[in-house]
Structure 1
Amino acid sequence: MNRESFGSRLGFLLVSAGCAIGIGNVWRFPTVAGQNGGGVFVLFYLLFLVLMGAPVLTMELAVGRAGHGSAATAYKALEPKGSKWHLHGWICLLGCCALMMYYTTVSGWMLDYFFKFAAGTFSGLGSEEVAGIFNGMLANPWEQGGWMAITVLVGFMICSRGLQNGLERIDKVMMCALIILIVVLVVRSVTLPGAAEGLSFYLLPDWDRAMEVGLGSVIVAAMNQSFFTLSLGIGAMEIFGSYMSRKYTLSGEALRICALDTFVALCAGLIIFPACFSFGISPDSGPSLIFITLPNVFAGMAGGRLWGALFFLFMTFASFSTVIAVFENILACMMENFGMTRRRASIIGTVVILLASIPCVLGFNIWSAIQPLGAGSTVLDGEDFLVSNLLLPIGSLIYLLFCVTRWGWGFDKYFAEANTGEGLKLPRHLRFYLTFLLPIFIVVILVQGLL
């Protein structure tokens, strides 16, 4: 089987950034920043993105590019004879499937709300009625399941067309549209009356607020966000390393992906905080921010139907770009390890993900009695805990140890691969940090997430 590759460097960067950019950028980053001293958190976030996120990203990309395959295949090609590193490749496949078990449902919510705003469903509604629409959607398994199914079917249909003709072509259009939409929404939000108060709350370093929370808590929150924002540890980024050329160094490409991801996260805050402060609404965390707080803002805004539709179109692109990127990883694993054609892998993948996504949909209604993390939790919470608090940090630690220890691929081989090509080179004096300090940081994130 001939190995597919990206048609252009821009295609690689936009698809990889599309995988990293997701719902966490929008409903988690701004809220965590607001709670942790605004600009203080942003400064620590940028620091840890360079210190933690970017290095681990280069390692995933290096394994993919040197191993010319999905996680299991690449590990087999690079691991010392007789070792079992490739077993992590199968865990990566399960991790991608576990992520899609709930991410497809949430992506379906975005699509549902786009059409609701476009149809004028929220026009003239009060705050209780807006909340009622969200609660009604959660209570209706057919509504949720329908939009989830559309997300899965369209996602695999795009990926079935191949890397360049499917994923790369569609993702280029979506990511360009996403960037245009986010700039338009930022301009609208920062020109609202009273927007300046929201901007200062979000961007100006407030050390007093940071000290109230505790500087240690701010640092850990920034460390967590910088790490999880890139979806590292389950091979979702590794597969794109296997498709990229050797013309450019991995450090430079990793920093460009981080920059695009951070741009979207920062702009999300520029949309949310000025709008919420302008209308005197507290920017709450999580789904309530996106599906209750912001629809209330749009409902009270001149032209709110248009701005709400544009916002949820942006959110649809942000979430769907992650969906099709992870689907591509699932398909690559199936094709390489089971000798399937892309078409057959797409059909099987569609059926598996559709069935696997049903518990998340039913967890808000028919199966609401299932509360895996205690009273009030849902199936989605349990699935998200498994992926975010276990598979991502543990997987990232495995990639790291594989690249820097003599029991794995080894630092010298990783270093040579990372620095192959034109662009920013990885300094050799970082070896001590990458080998001894970065693993400790990741263990801290793992333990903190479990606690």
Structure 2
Amino acid sequence: MEREKFSSRLGFILISAGCAIGLGNVWRFPYIVGKYGGAAFVLIYLLFLVVLGLPIVVMEFSVGRASRKSAALSFDVLEPKGSKWHLGKGIAIAGNYILMMFYTTVGGWMILYFFKTIKGDFTGMSAEAVAGEFSGMLGNPGLMMVFMVITVLICFGVCALGLQKGVERITKAMMLCLLCLMVVLAVHSVLLEGGSEGLKFYLMPDFGKMVETGIGEAVFAALGQSFFTLSIGIGALAIFGSYIGKEQRLTGEAVNVTILDTLVAFMAGLIIFPACSAYNIEPQAGPSLIFITLPNVFNHMVGGRLWGTLFFLFMSFAAFSTVIAVFQNIISFATDLTGCTIKKAVLVNIVLIIILSIPCVLGFNLWSGFMPLGPESTVLDLEDFVLSNNLLPIGSMVYLVFCTSRYGWGFKNFLAEANEGKGLKFPAWARIYVSYILPLIVLLIFIQGYWSKFAG
């Protein structure tokens, strides 16, 4: 059966970016930018994005396009005979499933809050009452289960329509809406009275603040964020490489995806910091920023209900774009490995993902006594740790070594694939860097992940 292809280059770029653009761009990026000195931190982050994230994205795209398969079979197709690279598929498959074990739940929160804001549930509430709403939701497994299932059904429904008619058409529309919504929200936020302080804090480099928090710590935070933001290492991007033609060189495409991902993260800061400073609210990290801080901000705003509704619509799109991209990968694993139809892969995986997502839902209520990573930690924290601190760096290392080692696919083959077509070339002189230095940086990130988690 002929593999379906994207109908347009824009579709490929928007969908790959949609996979990379997730909730971390919104609830983690602005916060760590604020914590580590505003724009000074952004400069370091952008540098790492280019030297660390970009080459691995190019490698994933290359492996996908050369093999025309998902990560389930791409190594089998390209590896030297008798080698064991195909075992790397285990990391990719596990990574995609584990990501969906908690992401579907958080996607459900977004839809729920979209409906709550439309209905005006938060209007006139005190800050304590808004926080109480979030705790109430976490304590209600039935409600969370319903919205998790809705997320799974909507996103698999899109994938069931096929690559061009479903994934490409709907994600394209969603991503364009997401970008428009962000511009509207950011312009509105920047023009708020009293928002200029937040803007200054976000956009004026303050190296003094960076020295205060510790330059080493800031550098590691930038390193980590640049690595995790692109979802590299689990074949989530390789799959989209397998759907594109040979007209364009892959470095240029990787640059486009990286720029879009960064743009969304940056715009999230433009929405959040001026709004928080206008209403004297401290921006927090993580879910509390989205579900407690921002509803409070919208409460104070003129037309806050409208702005809040638009914000949660945008957040739902950000979540869905990632879920649809990963579901597409999961369906491809099934069809590549078993030769089953797309419909069958969708039906089996709907059941599987819903069952696998239940522990995350229960981790906040019925199983809240289970604290796998110490006090206050939940099942979600454990799943995120397994993925972010283990599978992403290990998987990235597999792609790196596979594309540079003569015992793998080899640098020559990788370079030929990456540079086929027109556009930006992957430089041949980068060979020493990607073969010897970049793997060490990835190893460092892996060790740092454990160090910060268990030595602190």
TM-score normalised according to structure 2 size? 0.98
CA distance in 2, matches of 1:450, 1:67: 34
CA distance in 2, matches of 1:427, 1:316: 38
Counterpart of 2:92 in structure 1 is 92
- Per-residue CA deviation, residues 402-435 of structure 1 (Å, 9 max, x unaligned), is 0001111000100111111100001111111111
Q: Is the 8 A contact 1:71 1:90 kept in 2?
A: no
Give 1:90 shift.
2.6
**For the residues of structure 2 that align with 1:94 and 1:167, how far apart are their CA atoms?**
22
Structure 2 counterpart of 1:104? 104
Shift, 1:450, TM fit: 1.1
Counterpart position of 1:40: 40
CA contact (8 A) 1:45 1:226 kept: yes
Q: Report the counterpart of residue 312 of structure 2 in structure 1.
A: 312
> Alpha-carbon deviation of 1:114?
0.4
Q: What does residue 240 of structure 1 align with?
A: 240
Partner of 1:134: 134
Deviation at 1:88, TM superposition (A): 1.0
Correspondence 1:2-401 to 2 at 5 A: 2-401=2-401
Q: Deviations over 1:348-376 (max 9, x none)?
A: 01000000000000000011111111111
**What displacement does 1:72 show?**
2.6
> Aligned partners of 1:29, 1:315: CA distance in 2, in Å?
14
Aligned with 1:83: secondary structure?
coil
Instruction: Give the superposition deviation at 1:93.
Output: 1.0
Task: Provide Cα deviations, 1:319-378, integer angstroms capped at 9, x if missing partner.
Answer: 110000000000001001011100000000100000000000000001111111111100
Cα separation, 2, equivalents of 1:275 and 1:443: 38
Structure 2: distance between partners of 1:186 and 1:42: 18
Counterpart residue identity of residue 9, structure 1: R
- Contact 1:122/1:295 (8 A) holds in 2: yes
Could you tell me whether the CA contact under 8 Å between 1:189 and 1:195 is conserved in 2? yes
Q: Distance in 2 between matches of 1:41 and 1:358?
A: 37
Aligned identity (percent) is 58
Contact 2:72 2:336 survives alignment (8 Å): no
Does the Cα contact within 8 Å between 1:72 and 1:87 map onto a contact in 2?
Answer: no
In structure 2, what is the Cα distance between the partners aligned to 1:316 and 1:436?
A: 40
Letter in 2 for 1:162: G
Extract structure 1 runs of 4+ deviating beyond 2 A: none
Q: 1:36-73: CA deviations, max 9, x gaps? A: 11111100111011101110000000000001101131
Which residue identity lines up with residue 63 of structure 1 in the other structure?
V
Deviations 1:231-266 (A, max 9, x none): 001111110000011100110000000000000000
Instruction: Please give the root-mean-square deviation of Cα atoms over the aligned residues, in Å.
Output: 0.6
User: Which letter maps to 1:82?
Assistant: G
Unaligned runs of 5+ in 1: none
Deviation at 1:91, TM superposition (A): 2.2
Distance in 2 separating the partners of 1:419 and 1:35: 39
Q: In 2, distance between residues paired with 1:90 and 1:9?
A: 30
Query: How many pairs are equivalent?
Result: 451
Report the alpha carbon displacement of residue 219 of structure 1 after superposing the two structures with TM. 1.1
Residue aligned with 1:71, SS: coil
Q: Distance in 1 between matches of 2:176 and 2:444?
A: 36
Contact 1:15 1:325 in 2 (8 A): yes
Q: Secondary structure at the match of 2:254?
A: helix
- Residues in 2 aligned to 1:103 and 1:50: alpha-carbon distance in whole angstroms: 26
Structure 2 residues without counterparts, runs of 5 or longer: 452-456
State TM-score, norm by structure 1: 0.99
State the distance in 2 between where 1:188 and 1:238 align.
Answer: 37
User: What is the CA–CA distance in structure 2 between the aligned matches of 1:315 and 1:375, rounded to whole Å?
Assistant: 29
